[in-house]
Amino acid sequence: MAEPAAEAPKKPGWRRIIAALGNRKTGYMAIFGFAAGLPYALLLGTLYAWLSDAKVDLETMGVFSLIGLSYAFKFLWSPLLDRVNIPVLSLLGKRKQWIVTAQMLLGVILLVLSTLNPLTALGWFSLLAGIGAFASATQDVVVDAWRVDVADEVATIDMLSTVYQMGYRMAALVGGALALFLAERTSWPTVYMTMGAIMAVVGLVSIFAPEAEQTSAQIGAAKEELADLRRAGEVHPRVRGWSLLAIGALWAWALITVGVFMVRSLGSDPELRPDSVSFIATQGPLIVIATVVVPALFAAWLVYLKRTGRHLLDAEMPSQSGVDRFVDHGYRALILPLIDFVGRLGWAVIVVLGLVLTYRITDSIWGSFAYPFYLGELAYTKDEVAVASKFFGVGALMVGLAVGGTLLTLIGRMATLTLGAVIAALTNLLYADLAIGGARMQAVSDAVGFTWLVSQLGGDGRLAKLMMTIAGENIAVGIAGAAFVAYLSSMVSKQYSAVQYALVSSLTLLVGTLGRGALGKMIEVRGYYEVFLLTTAIGFFAVLLCLVEWWRISRLGAKAGMDKVALAGA
């Protein structure tokens, strides 16, 4: 859940955070953060190091990475998690039944993955990884809801959010650096067996987590919201039903289309698999249109109906059947947040959605190929990658986040957002240099004394230039990430913050994830150097949209200032 940055209370200090870990709710929040971060690191990061060692080709890895769409589409099934109970496990509580189920399922999946050979059993391997990504995305949704449910005066929402990030970052080290260290000394099956056992233990521990039950007042408020949809002046239920059916059909088509492509690609002989470049060129735009553009147009049409008084109820029309109630629930959960979003932004929604879809594409589209690049193309060892990418890289990311937070205060949100887009795009050139030998990065590392420092700690110049490159990218990503979260938070309304934030944050992964299959094939054919030049160029689409959005927000601010002066004069 995200609130506008301007209204957020001051974040708690580290001493208070550590002391608060003794609180039962806060302690479990750290555990849940760890449980959320571990499968993400293992399924969308470290797994590609295993695939690289198994000599799986890059195009297949790109198609395999489409399992990340589970995180991009998680907003679609999030409303069901509020209303569907699991037999027997529902005794654990509304949130815990799903948290425990997801964690135990993830533990089993990781254990089964440890028994498979990714090269000879790629179909089963990808199916299990896809189910794991779905379970992980589901866990994320429910953990976010649990955090809001259990927050109180002691375990505040800011405290719980901060502790969640601590647990998540710890999981990134365990699922990244520790996994690489273990793989270097044992084997990948041993690594995933160990991680599966850890997830299973977390699932058992989670059974004893506190659960906040809904009060009668909360239940009454939810019923009142549904009743409002049936009152005079609201859009006619028939129109709402057809809108929900149309949008649901489009989202279902998109999911099925991607799923069929994945099955055909990963289950076929490499020579017979469908062309990923052709799929992205033809189906990719249609998927974006079906999941983003058309639903936004439907929302705009419904806003128009409400404003012009067309197809509205003349009198109250109570629900008569289970179908009526289903339509009301679905409309409230999925369509109303879209209507609010489009209604507030108007035509500016085009710029906002364009910015959301492209801002993180430069790092999200090639992220799945990082381990193959480090381990395969550049031939670094797993230990070296663990040190450079995870320990040093995570530290650089935290520095970037801190710098980004400072810049937000000093120069403002849009200036920081635009700067973040520029440097996030340009840091791809650092990797382009590595792809052709890294002479420039080596010269920079030598000139600033970083090579000497690394050599004193047991490394060498080759490791130093990798660390320097990763540091540059992660600092840029940290700055861009801090600004982007603040921007997204400012775009959502408080009333619908859960679904709207889930929607816009999910869309940031959509285009990058869809493009990975084609990018993998391009790497196979053209090499990493040209790919990094391409991702740099793509990044400047986001820069252009940042400038347009900056201009739009500045105009709104100037207009608000003039209105304020006019009111004062009156």
Q: For 507-548, what is each residue's pLDDT tens digit? A: 777 777 777 777 877 888 888 999 899 989 988 999 999 999
Mean pLDDT of 158-164: 71
Query: Regarding predicted confidence, which is higher, 230 or 16?
Result: 230
Q: How many other CB atoms sit within 10 Å of the CB of residue 569?
A: 6
pLDDT of residue 396: 86
- Tokens read off for 554: 């500045």
Q: Supply the DSSP symbol for 36.
A: H
472: nearest Cα among 432, 430, 437, 535: 430
Rounded (5°) CA angle 135-477-283:
55
- Tokens read off for 298: 């439907």
CA distance 466 to 384: 9
444: nearest Cα among 415, 413, 474, 467: 467
Q: Supply the DSSP symbol for 10.
A: P
- 220-238 pLDDT, tens digit each: 555 666 677 888 888 888 9
Strand partners, 338: none
Which long-range contacts does 327-331 make (Cβ < 8 Å, 24+ apart)? 327/237, 327/240, 327/241, 327/244, 328/226, 328/229, 328/230, 328/237, 328/240, 329/79, 329/83, 329/226, 330/79, 330/244, 330/248, 331/229, 331/240, 331/241, 331/243, 331/244
Position 312 pLDDT exceeds 70: yes
Query: Given its phi and psi angles, is residue 214 left (phi above 0), alpha (psi -120 to 50 degrees) or beta?
Result: beta
The pTM score is 0.71
| HEC secondary structure over 192-254 | HHHHHHHHHHHHHHHCCCCCCCCCHHHHHHHHHHHHHCCCCCCECHHHHHHHHHHHHHHHHHH
Q: What is the full DSSP assignment across 470-489? A: HHHHHHHHHHHHHHHHHHHH
Q: State whether the Cα torsion 489-490-493-499 is positive or negative.
A: negative
In this prediction, residue 565 has a pLDDT band, given cuts at 50, 70 and 90, of low
Position 217 pLDDT exceeds 50: no
- Tokens read off for 210: 């506190």
Position 192 pLDDT exceeds 80: yes
- 77-104 pLDDT, tens digit each: 776 777 778 888 888 888 899 999 999 9
List domains and CATH numbers for the chain. Answer: 13-213 (1.20.1250.20), 228-358+494-524 (no CATH), 367-491+527-570 (no CATH)
Which long-range contacts does 344-350 make (Cβ < 8 Å, 24+ apart)? 344/493, 345/491, 348/549, 348/552, 349/296, 349/300
CA distance 388 to 374: 10
Amino acid at 254: A
pLDDT of residue 562: 62
Mean pLDDT of 413-435: 92
SS3 content of the chain, % helix, strand, coil (to 5): 80, 0, 20
pLDDT of residue 419: 95
Q: How many other CB atoms sit within 10 Å of the CB of residue 120?
A: 10
Position 124 pLDDT exceeds 60: yes
Strand partners, 235: 312
pLDDT of residue 394: 78
**How deeply is 282 buried, as exposed, middle or buried, from its count of CB atoms within 10 A (0-12, 13-18, 19+)?**
exposed
Write phi, then psi, for 520 (nearest 5 degrees). -60, -40
pLDDT of residue 17: 55
Average pLDDT of the chain to the nearest whole number: 82
CA distance 143 to 137: 10
In this prediction, residue 27 has a pLDDT band, given cuts at 50, 70 and 90, of confident
First to last CA, the chain: 40
pLDDT of residue 9: 44
Q: State whether the Cα torsion 552-558-562-563 is positive or negative.
A: positive
CA distance 311 to 317: 13
- Tokens read off for 136: 């992980």
Position 11 pLDDT exceeds 60: no
CA distance 417 to 550: 9
- 48-64 pLDDT, tens digit each: 889 888 888 777 777 77
